[in-house]
Amino acid sequence: MAAIRGADTKPEMVIRRGLHARGFRFRLHDRRLPGRPDLVFAKYNAVIFVNGCFWHGHDCSLFKWPKTREEFWRDKIAGNRRRDEQSRQALLGAGWRIASVWECALKGRDRLPGEDLIDNIATWLSSDRKETSFRGKDTV
């Protein structure tokens, strides 16, 4: 697990490049905010988390429970989900707007077209919606 990256992942880089090309400027992994959001848009009072479907236990085709050390993995993923919810609540309480971009939105058989996803994120940033989630086509 030491080789697993928490920052600068491929899905995160796709989102960063797309939004930067559209003129959005942001800070990365701000340690002062709960959960260290991947992208922080202070101008829009918004943050974006780019979540891996496995590590955050997303209910989609990319997530499968491991067959070995089942108790360890259930505890690990449950802890990640718990921390995600605590961070979400703290950020909402502080007045931040939150978007979650799931890995399945960018890869797998149910991925969204890349330009469409970036357009949808850009539209959300310019809106006044508090929360949103971007995921693959098969998830609700």
Give 103-138 pLDDT, tens digit per residue.
999 988 888 888 899 999 999 999 999 999 998 875
What pLDDT score does 3 carry? 53
Whats the size of the chain, residue-wise?
Answer: 140
User: Which class is domain 10-29+39-134?
Assistant: alpha beta
Task: Report d(CA 31, CA 103) in Å as an integer.
Answer: 22
Q: Among 19-23, 46-50, 51-55, 91-95, whose mean pLDDT is lowest?
A: 51-55
Radius of gyration over every alpha carbon of the chain, rounded to an integer in angstroms: 15
Task: Provide the residue ranges of all domains of the chain, joining segments of one domain with +.
Answer: 10-29+39-134
